[in-house]
Each structure stands twice: as structure tokens, then as C-alpha cells.
Amino acid sequence: PNRIFSGIQPSGGLTLGNYLGALRRFAQKQDEGIESIYCIVDMHAITVWQDPAKLRHATRELTAAYIASGIDPEKSVLFNQSQVSAHAELGWIFNCVARLGWMNRMTQFKDKTAGKNAEASSLGLYAYPALMAADILAYKATHVPVGDDQKQHVELTRDIAAKFNHDFGVNFFPMPEPVIEGAATRVMSLRDGTKKMSKSDPSDASRINLTDDADTIAKKLRKAVTDPEPLPETAEGLASRAEARNLVNIYAALTNSSVEAVLGEFAGQGFGTFKPKLAELAVSVLSPISTEMTRLMQDTGEIDRILSRGAERAEAIARPILDDVYDIIGMVRRK
Ligand code: TYM
């Protein structure tokens, strides 16, 4: 039986990259009827300093974003990580399974500490991928929809699962598969086509935020870096044009179509024509979501109730799995 797990950090606002690479696809999976568990990974967020009031707000806002993007908290399990202690418990066990050498190869840690003193980053930031493996495996999830940047972490999860099974001579954990599909698995910065669009980029013009208004979206896209060439006939024509390719990918993802289909419509036209069309499209998709988020955020009591209920359901799945893990590794249990 298939089971999906995925998570998003409540560390500030959400970008179009989070939406196209993750949120939108989560709702599609849920609607295909696959058992789905979606998490607001607040324990991951604190691997870098978070202001407590902002963290609380971002957790609720991300819950609203999930729901506004089509996650139905009755159909899917929707909750925040810190309410289900199985994550932290299994995370510790996996800290003892994962090897230092494996962690040293994680590119996200290298990216996050690039240009900084890595010695001053938290131990949690370094161990982050082992907690992510625990998120997935506490539910024995088989499929993990993510953007391209999380692929390495899901591969590490497989390594941890395999080592656990091998070390204890069991066939206990499944090998979860990353599910990276669609035209927007890696949405790039609007200012630099070689960098990923990210909520932590210092330039707000580099990204579209889920909560940007129509004028801001149009302005950011108008100013997006491109080249003077018209759009090509074929996808190969975009090969060495990172910025142009990014905008076409975004258009394709927003319309649920392919790069070829977009080029079929726009080949030969310049970005002066394409950008306003893209802006109109982005606004038509994002503005109902941000309106719904604002509406949901009027009643944070209801959001908190949704998270509590989701946490109870998550716990009911994870606790028996954790009990088995403790037995397998030889912990004497309370009677
Ligand atoms: P996070 O919070 O950085 O991002 C959430 C999701 O959005 C995707 N994403 C993108 N996709 C396309 N283009 C982009 N520019 C872009 N930026 C972000 C990410 O790939 C991700 O799918 N470690 C995870 C959170 C996590 C998790 C998990 C995910 C914790 N535990 C277990 C899956 C399963 C992270 O930092 O995502």
C-alpha cells in the first residue's frame, strides 16, 4: 500500500517555488486518493533561530496555505511536527544510524553555511536530514513528493532505512521514493537563472511570494531578468537560456501543461508579450489562494483545532511503528 509523506518549513513566507514544487502537487496526490500525510516541520525550522511569535504565526499561516491550496484536513492528515513526539524520538535513533560521512555530503548544509562560519551553525542544522528521514519513516511512507532540492535528503532517508534494516536483520522500513515531477521541480530566482527561488534570498524581487498582490507580481515579472531573443520553437532552444527557460517552466506548471505546449503558443514572440501574459496567469492562480489564506487566518482557534486533530491522527499511525522500533533495537519498555 502506498503512503505519501511530505513537509514544509514554517520559516517565513512561501514562494511560487514552494507552491509549484510542493503544495500544488500535494493537493493533486490527495485527490488521486493516495493516503497522504502533510506536515508543518516546526522542529526543522528551529535549526536556525526563529523568533517565537513569528514561528507561531508562520505555522498557522502555512496551515492556511495548505488548506487554501486544496489540502482537505479530513482527507489528508495535516499537523505540525512538534505535536507528535515520534519525530524527535526516531530522529535521535537515526542520529545513531546515519554516519558522519553521509551528513558531510549533504549539499543543503553546505549551501546554508556557504560564506558563513559553519562552526557557528547549530548541531541541529547538521543533523537536519536525519530528522527528515524520521519524519518519513515514522509513517513507513513510500512516496515523498518534493522539489528537486530535496532529492538528496530522500536518498539519504533510503540509506538510513537500508542500514537500519541491515544492522538489525529486519525488513522493517520501506525504501521511500522521491516523487519529483512536472515542469517546475526547480523554480529559479527571477534575478539569476542559476539560483533557486528561495524565501531566504535577501532580494524580495528574486521571488514571487504567495501573498504578493497583483501589482507586485506583475512588477516582479516585468523586471525579471531575461534575454532579448524571442521564445524558441523547441525546448532545446531554451537549453542555454536559464532565465527564459524558468519563465516558460513556470507558465507550463501554472497551466498544468508542458514546455512544448507553451512554446507552441508563444514561439517567435518576445518577453515583452510573454511576461504580461505570465503575470496575468500567476495572479489568476495565486490571488484566490492568498484571499483564502487571509480568510482562514481570521480564526486561528479553528486552525489550532485542525492541527490538534491532525496530530492525533498522525500519532495514531506513528506510535505503533515507534513501539516496534524500540523493540527491534532492544529498549526495555514500560509495562
Ligand atoms: P522547504 O520548506 O525548504 O520547501 C518545501 C517544499 O518546497 C520545495 N521547493 C521548491 N520547489 C521548486 N522550486 C523551488 N525554488 C523550491 N523551493 C522549495 C521543496 O523542494 C520542498 O518540497 N527539508 C524540507 C522539509 C521537510 C520534508 C520532510 C520534506 C522536512 N521533513 C519530509 C519531505 C519529507 C525543506 O526544507 O523544504
**Closest atom of ligand 1 to CA, residue 188:** 15
Report pLDDT for 54: 97
Asked if 214 and 136 sit in the same domain, the reply is no
Domain for residue 186, yes or no?
no
* 335 inside domain: no
133 and 19 in one domain? yes
| Same structural domain, 286 and 303 | no
Pocket test for ligand 1, best of 149, 158, 254 (most atoms within 8 A of CB): 149
ipTM above 0.95, yes or no: yes
For ligand 1, the distance from its centroid to the CA atom of residue 124, given in whole angstroms, is 17
Indicate if 151 and 239 belong to the same structural domain: no
> Same structural domain for residues 270 and 320?
no
Is position 227 annotated in a ligand binding site? no
pLDDT for position 114: 86
CA 321 to chain centre: 24
Q: Give me the pLDDT at residue 192, please.
A: 95
The count of domains in the chain is 2
Residues 9, 142, single domain; the answer is: yes
Residue 308 is labelled as binding a ligand = no
Q: In this predicted structure, what is the pLDDT of residue 97?
A: 98
Is 162 among the domain residues?
A: yes
* pLDDT at residue 118, as a whole number: 86
Q: 82 lies in a domain? A: yes
Could you list the active site residues?
Answer: 112, 196, 199
**Backbone φ, ψ for residue 178 (5° rounding):** -70, 140
Q: What pLDDT, on a 0 to 100 scale, did the predictor assign at position 246?
A: 97
Q: Are residues 24 and 103 in the same domain?
A: yes
User: Is the domain of 95 the same as that of 169?
Assistant: yes
Same domain, yes or no: 79 and 12: yes
Same domain, 117 and 70: yes
Q: How far is the CA of 81 from the centre of ligand 1 (A)?
A: 15
User: What local confidence, expressed as pLDDT, does residue 116 receive?
Assistant: 87
- 170 domain-assigned: yes
Inside any domain, residue 194? no
Residue to probe by mutation, ligand 1, list 4, 5, 8, 206, most atoms within 8 Å of CB? 8
The answer as to whether 184 is a domain residue is no
CATH code, domain with 219:
1.10.240.10
303 & 174 share domain:
yes
Q: Let me know whether 144 and 94 are in one domain.
A: yes
The range of the structural domain enclosing residue 283 comes to 204-294
166 lies in some domain: yes
Ligand 1 near 16 CB (within 6 A): no
Does the annotation place 124 within a ligand binding site? Answer: no
Could you tell me the CATH number of the domain that includes residue 91?
Answer: 3.40.50.620
pLDDT tens for the chain, 335 residues long, are 699 999 999 998 899 999 999 999 999 999 999 999 999 999 999 999 999 999 999 999 999 999 999 999 999 999 999 999 999 999 999 999 999 999 999 999 988 888 888 899 999 999 999 999 999 999 999 999 999 999 999 999 999 999 999 999 999 999 999 999 999 999 999 999 999 999 989 999 999 999 999 999 999 999 999 999 999 999 999 999 999 999 999 999 999 999 999 999 999 999 999 999 999 999 999 999 999 999 999 999 999 999 999 999 999 999 999 999 999 999 999 98
Supply 181's cell numbers. Answer: 515531477
Q: What pLDDT is stored for residue 90 in this prediction?
A: 98
